[in-house]
Structure 1
Amino acid sequence: MSSLTPGVSRLSQPPTTAALTARSSTPVAERAAQVRFRRAISLMAMTLVAPGTAQLVAGNRRVGLVAFRTYLGILALGAVMVVAVALDHGLALGLAVNTTLLFWLNLALIGAAIGWAALFFDAWRIGQPLSYSMGHRRVAVGLNGVLALGVAGVLLFSAHIVSVQRDFILATFGDGAASDATHGRYNVLLAGGDSGAGRWGLRTDSLTVASIDEQTGKTVLIGLPRNMANFPFAEGSIMAEQFPDGFDCDDCMLNGVSTWAQDNPTLFEGSDHPGMDATVMAVEGITGLEINYWAMVNLEGFKELVDAVGGVTLDVKDDIPIGLPGDEVTGTIEAGTRKLDGFETLWYARARYGSDDYSRMARQKCVMNAMLQQVSPASAVKNFQGIAKATSDMVETSIPASEVDTFLDLGMKAKSQQVATVSLVPPLINTAEPDIALVHRTIRAAIDKSEGKQPAQTTKKAEAGSKAKADTGTDAPPTSTTSTTGGSVGSMKDGYAANESEDLATAC
């Protein structure tokens, strides 16, 4: 029987003690769970901003102290490095190519990635994730995972970049002794070689000496034609002993020196690069310059480098057929100022249809200048991994790793300088019977002019100009013309502008 008073509704009775307890306990538990959730989020944020502080507040203080002190030490070291680099820009380049430092930095970044991720998961554990609602658990797990994986991912990617940089330095550069500048200049032989199965460096298809002022980075590019013959080798060299009267054998030209040396390796005992060693002896004999280092560029691999930097902008003077004489023409690089990809840039530099070797040399110098001027530090950083891979596949050089920072610094200086060029080609030089004394005077005059000196001696071209002035009372007309041949300004008869210029950019 009901004990309710007649006429009084059940709803009007006061709640029992059990009912009051049930109603009041649920909100309190929820509020406590929400507080713990917010605390967990705070611990994750603390770990993101200052790793180790979450453990100092609510976890293992010893772990927190080690992590936080390590973090502060890294910040302090970073601040010192920023100041040092600001005062000495060369320091950054030196650190970037120090393979020992890069090795330890790679390990440190991997360790930091693992350690920081572990601190995030420990901060999540400290927050008691099982004590709050299912919805909050999911948010905490997701947020912690994003933060831990995000931070670890950035650090691991940085470690990968450091590893790529180290591998690039080890794979590309030599381990020989550094060479001092000669008379204030570094002379580096840049050789372009045909590639293909078994043909790496077999034939030097393009030869240029970059003579670089060791203080200013101002550069003179000295082009040597591949078809030069009857030239001497450096005095006292192995090749000079074999050819005391010059390279005068049948069909022997400059681009065949490397092949000859590789066919006679016993003469170069202990050498890993007999072809390049012999080519250096030839170039020193022709130019009278001491070559400090050499770099062999795989022409096929060169297109990968151009693609890695996003292409290069060139002023294409005439339509350039794609293909070599005797092969089918597969396309055309149309005239006009345009950005070329790696494939197009390679063919712009090496195409021979409707041109001669000397116009091709002029186009190659235009490509060199464009690459120097257009590859900015920002684009190099942005495309670093692709550039490093392309360069490792493309370049073999005798420049030791210890000197890389020196040449990077000179390269940065060279970007703000005019690049001068002189080529040992007709009409000035008879490549079949070169006048070596004239070659030496021509090179010396170009370097003196680049350094702002009055040339001590003049070339035959200058002498001819002086004679014309004396005869007519006026200056002799310039040898270069505005006509183009094979995509290069000028002609073989009058000379190509890009082969002899005080400012290569204006000649291209």
Structure 2
Amino acid sequence: MSLAASPIRFPDTTSREVMTRRGWWLVVLNLLVPGSAQSLAGNRRLGRFGLRATLVLWGLALLAIVAWLAWPTVFYTAVTSTLGLWAIALAAVFYAVLWVILGLDTLRLVRLVKAKPSARALIAAFGVAAMVFVAGSAAYGAVIATTASGFLSAVFASGPPVPPDENGRYNIMLLGGDAGPDREGMRPDSVNVVSIDATTGQAVTIGLPRNLEDVPFPESSPLYDVYPEGYGAIDGCEVDACMLNSIYTEVELKSPEMYPDADANGSEPGIEAMRDAVEGITGLDIQYYVIIDMQGFADLVDALGGVTIDVADRVPMGAGHDEDGEPVEITEWIEPGTQVLDGYHALWYARSRYETSDYDRMARQAELQDAILHQFNPANVLSKFQAVATAGAQVVKTDIPQSMLGYFVDLASKTKELPVVRVALVPPDFDPEEPDWAYARELIDAQVLLPETEEPAAG
């Protein structure tokens, strides 16, 4: 074979011009098509192995893109399952090692001493940077995959998928838990239901004030036998305040035996009691729950880099009562205008009710939920994934099975593109202290049980 026929494999080593140009070709080819440098100028067996591995990777990437576009549920299910994540992690480790080997071998093939002195450092720097970039990206992908597997296994339950209810919807109870030093046990200070159309993703959020009284229970609930006329309606209850959010505390502290299978099913007696209460209020079948620790919520917002809120009115911070019940003065204000809130300030924005009402706080919490839904996307979650996973595992508890994640991720992408409809059982339309449960069902059914041709009313 002549020099002219194969200048890359058999270059004129006496020409620094030729060797410099050859060096640049090799490091660039190794970056664009790993294995090509070895096939052209080095160990062809290693080169063929690298090229085959590269083609397999390109094929898998193309298959993933096609699946994401054509069968998103299948794609999301694969990348949220433990088996799928570990397969991704092992593949990432394999490619990271392979690219380091190919990168180092390419630098050997370049023969820097034969290149122009002025180009040696640049060629070497480019080759090393390319190797670090591709191999480092693969290694980071492996870290993300293993972290995600641990996070999802810790947060989400095991079990088979559950079909939507008879109306074609998934109904999820969202509880914001608050175990402050001035109270006995934890009370869910934020109670919402998200009802999602299983086909379109259209969501209805139902806000339930924590101070709802005479809460009804379904006849199938063990609490119905104790409170047939509603929670505390006849002879009071076992805790100091007979309101909706007290049901969790009472069952957890006084009568957990009412729900003997709760722990085995990835739940708690108090959560199951709240599920019964919410079903009694709304008339909906609550398939799943999600409970968020409000104290840990601040860590999650910090991990995501903060949240942008358009603050309408000044919100006081620090006001409340200490452990002895003594009033605490306002220490700071969240001022009106567009604000980027860190976790500490976002938590106060969601919890503060000094000089305002619980209903104002519910409105701010809904605003915060909308902001998080629309501002946090896969790109910024992935960039901070380890911090998000660490915070999330401490903040979130749910009985949503991991096998349903792919479906819900796809559904959430549809929900994000649609207006969220809100139903709030608050004054002046609804009196939490003298509730009309039939009217509450009418308000909810008007949005949840819409004919297929009718659009939900925004609000």
Relative to the length of structure 1, the TM-score reads 0.75
Residue 194, structure 1, aligned to residue 178, structure 2: yes
Structure 1 residue 84: Cα displacement: 3.2
Residue 239, structure 1, aligned to residue 223, structure 2: yes
Deviation string for 1:400-450 (max 9, x for gaps)? Answer: 111122222222222232222222233444433433222222221232469
Cα distance in 1 between the residues matched to 2:417 and 2:299 = 26
Matches within 5 A, 1:445-464: 445-448=446-449, 453=454
Residue 422, structure 1, aligned to residue 423, structure 2: yes
Structure 1 residue 134: Cα displacement: 8.1
Tell me, yes or no, if the aligned pair for 1:450 and 1:502 is still in contact at 8 Å: no
Deviation string for 1:10-59 (max 9, x for gaps)? Answer: xxxxxxxxxxxxxxxxxxx9825765565455443332222223333343
- Which one-letter code corresponds to 1:261 in the other structure? V
Tell me, yes or no, if the aligned pair for 2:213 and 2:244 is still in contact at 8 Å: yes
Q: Find the partner of 1:284 among 279, 299, 302.
A: 279
Tell me, yes or no, if the aligned pair for 2:195 and 2:203 is still in contact at 8 Å: yes
- Which one-letter code corresponds to 1:240 in the other structure? Y
Residue 171, structure 1, aligned to residue 154, structure 2: yes
Tell me the SS of whatever aligns to 1:253.
Answer: coil
Tell me, yes or no, if the aligned pair for 1:201 and 1:296 is still in contact at 8 Å: no
Structure 1 residue 243: Cα displacement: 3.2
- Which one-letter code corresponds to 2:188 in the other structure? T
Structure-2 residue corresponding to 1:444: 445
Q: Which moved more, 1:229-238 or 1:368-377?
A: 368-377
Structure-2 residue corresponding to 1:256: 246
Cα distance in 1 between the residues matched to 2:242 and 2:378 = 42
Query: Unpaired segments of 5 or more residues in structure 2?
Result: 1-11, 321-326
Structure 1 residue 380: Cα displacement: 4.2
Structure-2 residue corresponding to 1:62: 45
Structure 1 residue 301: Cα displacement: 2.3
Tell me the SS of whatever aligns to 1:392.
Answer: helix
Residue 229, structure 1, aligned to residue 197, structure 2: no
Matches within 5 A, 1:358-397: 358-397=359-398
Cα distance in 2 between the residues matched to 1:59 and 1:175 = 50
Q: Which moved more, 1:99-108 or 1:250-259?
A: 250-259
Cα distance in 2 between the residues matched to 1:289 and 1:309 = 33
Structure-1 residue corresponding to 2:196: 212
Structure 1 residue 62: Cα displacement: 2.3
Tell me the SS of whatever aligns to 2:355.
Answer: coil
Cα distance in 2 between the residues matched to 1:431 and 1:441 = 15
Rate the CA distance shift 1:156–1:370 in 2: closer, same or farther, 3 A.
same
Structure 1 residue 337: Cα displacement: 4.1
Structure-1 residue corresponding to 2:54: 71
Cα distance in 2 between the residues matched to 1:389 and 1:200 = 27
* Structure with more relative contact order (C-alpha pairs < 8 Å, separation 6 or more): 2
Tell me, yes or no, if the aligned pair for 1:201 and 1:298 is still in contact at 8 Å: no
Structure 1 residue 101: Cα displacement: 1.1
Matches within 5 A, 1:469-488: none
Deviation string for 1:331-367 (max 9, x for gaps)? Answer: 1112234443332222222111111222222222222
Rate the CA distance shift 1:132–1:285 in 2: closer, same or farther, 3 A.
closer
Cα distance in 2 between the residues matched to 1:422 and 1:132 = 72
Structure 1 residue 384: Cα displacement: 4.3
Structure-1 residue corresponding to 2:71: 88
Q: Find the partner of 2:105 among 112, 118, 122.
A: 122
Structure-2 residue corresponding to 1:306: 301
Structure 1 residue 299: Cα displacement: 1.3
Rate the CA distance shift 1:79–1:200 in 2: closer, same or farther, 3 A.
farther
- Which one-letter code corresponds to 1:115 in the other structure? L
Cα distance in 2 between the residues matched to 1:136 and 1:373 = 48
Cα distance in 1 between the residues matched to 2:134 and 2:201 = 40
Tell me the SS of whatever aligns to 2:328.
Answer: coil
Tell me, yes or no, if the aligned pair for 1:220 and 1:450 is still in contact at 8 Å: no
Cα distance in 2 between the residues matched to 1:201 and 1:414 = 35
Tell me the SS of whatever aligns to 1:282.
Answer: helix
Q: Which moved more, 1:135-144 or 1:243-252?
A: 135-144
- Which one-letter code corresponds to 1:503 in the other structure? A
Query: Share of identical aligned residues, percent?
Result: 38
Tell me, yes or no, if the aligned pair for 1:209 and 1:223 is still in contact at 8 Å: yes
Deviation string for 1:81-134 (max 9, x for gaps)? Answer: 323323334344333312211111111111111111112222333455677898
Structure-2 residue corresponding to 1:487: none
Q: Find the partner of 2:290 among 279, 291, 295.
A: 295
Cα distance in 2 between the residues matched to 1:311 and 1:267 = 41
Cα distance in 2 between the residues matched to 1:274 and 1:138 = 66
- Which one-letter code corresponds to 1:293 in the other structure? Y
Cα distance in 2 between the residues matched to 1:75 and 1:222 = 45
Cα distance in 2 between the residues matched to 1:39 and 1:453 = 67
Cα distance in 2 between the residues matched to 1:422 and 1:169 = 31
Matches within 5 A, 1:98-109: 98-109=81-92
Residue 333, structure 1, aligned to residue 324, structure 2: no
- Which one-letter code corresponds to 1:281 in the other structure? D
Larger radius of gyration: 1
Tell me, yes or no, if the aligned pair for 2:319 and 2:331 is still in contact at 8 Å: no
Cα distance in 1 between the residues matched to 2:367 and 2:298 = 15
Residue 503, structure 1, aligned to residue 458, structure 2: yes
